[in-house]
A and B are shown apart, each in its own frame.
Chain A
């Protein structure tokens, strides 16, 4: 039986309101058959300090990435990850996490590579749930193992590779990193470890829209109107555009991918997960430095 959508009025303004749920909706539907809640955080231990009752954890670093090749897990591994967490192909999966749902949207994007049909984000994530004094537990969830089909990953629709980005130059690109990373002044996020890019700057033509501009103070997504102000009016992107978003390793840009695709209804948005750690190390790819977008001549 399908889990109903959240009919909250803020959500209904978005292009695809079925991709979000409010904390109130989740509190009312927890434990319903067919619903699996997944926590995905930057901090690998945060879930274990307390989580939404019944939720399961997916760690982006140790579980969604292939341990050897720089790539995502394959279809067999993905089927195991889901099956052991009680996620079947027809489950409604609600993701939530720390830091404005940064890692929750990343996990949702990876689930989308495998075409999992019903994926949703808890608007406001972990911080809002906790701020509202809602129930948290350290009790281990013991989901019943289910069968998840082995489904081939589709890397052609919402994922972009370096060669595709090269061919895309001249079309809309969104750089979601901090202003210092965009100009080339910084090689990594402020206050974060250097992850090894030998050149700084941005892909020529890319607009600079730091990802967290899409989040409100309380960690929820900004209203549709406010998001349109940023991406459509200020940056002059259009829902018909073919857009590629990138950051440093593709996690912050999955947040922007979610906003453009599901909240603003852009039809063709890809996340370049190679991002700056690939581009900034590649020989002879064009790079622009400074605050100007730059162009390819």
Chain B
């Protein structure tokens, strides 16, 4: 699927971790990731309107993207605790892409998430939120440059 394209190292590591597990353990890993999503810094926590909503996720997710002068991408996410799957998806993006260069982020294949093998564990329909998240991150990176 995406094997020929090189993913950023941490994202690639996550893909290896997920694809090396059975279906049940993939869910467990996603749950652990959902618990590791960092809290919002104050400048967003108090200003949710400065974030973009990702309505394609079943539970609305809020997203903010910053590109610093060195062209490094910083990602911020917010989703309620009662939406662990959405938080898990956001955490995959955060772990895999935060701190990478704008070019690297823009180069991530839009269908990279297929390689995580989560379709079977969470259903393909639920996975659409992850595709939308990446598309919106890329759009924001492009407009922030």
Contacts and interface: CB of A to CB of B under 8 A. Distances in A.
B4 interface: no
A44 B129 CA distance: 14
Contacts of B132: 193
Q: Mostly helix, strand, loop or mixed at chain A's interface?
A: loop
Interface residues of B, number: 26
Contact of B123 (A45, A46, A62): A62
B59 A43 contact: yes
Nearest to B27: A45
A61 B125 CA distance: 9
Contacts of B39: none
Given A49-B84, A193-B128, A43 B58 contact: yes
Contacts, number: 57
B82 A45 contact: no
A99 B68 CA distance: 39
Interface in A180-197: 190-193, 195
Contacts of B56: 192-193
A271 B21 CA distance: 38
B79 to A, nearest CB: 10
Q: Size class of A's contact patch?
A: 10 to 19
Contact of B83 (A43, A48, A190, A192): A43
Contacts of B83: 43, 46
B55 interface: yes
Contact of A44 (B81, B82, B123, B128): B123
A42 interface: yes
A192 B54 CA distance: 9
Interface string B23-58: 000011011001000000000000000000001101
B27 A193 contact: no
Nearest to B53: A191
A61 B128 contact: no
A116 B115 CA distance: 39
A44 B125 contact: no
A273 interface: no
Given A191-B55, A192-B58, A193-B132, A45 B126 contact: no
Best-surrounded residue of A49, A190, A193 (most CB of chain B within 10 A): A193
Contacts of A45: 27, 30-31, 34, 84-85, 88
B12 to A, nearest CB: 24
A98 B60 CA distance: 15
A48 B88 CA distance: 13
A218 B118 CA distance: 33
Contacts of B129: 193
24 contacts: A42-B58, A43-B58, A44-B122, A44-B126, A45-B27, A45-B30, A45-B84, A45-B85, A45-B88, A46-B83, A46-B85, A49-B31, A49-B81, A61-B123, A62-B122, A98-B82, A190-B55, A191-B60, A192-B55, A192-B58, A193-B56, A193-B58, A193-B128, A193-B132
Given A43-B84, A44-B27, A61-B123, 8 more contacts: A42-B58, A43-B58, A43-B85, A44-B121, A46-B83, A48-B28, A48-B31, A62-B123
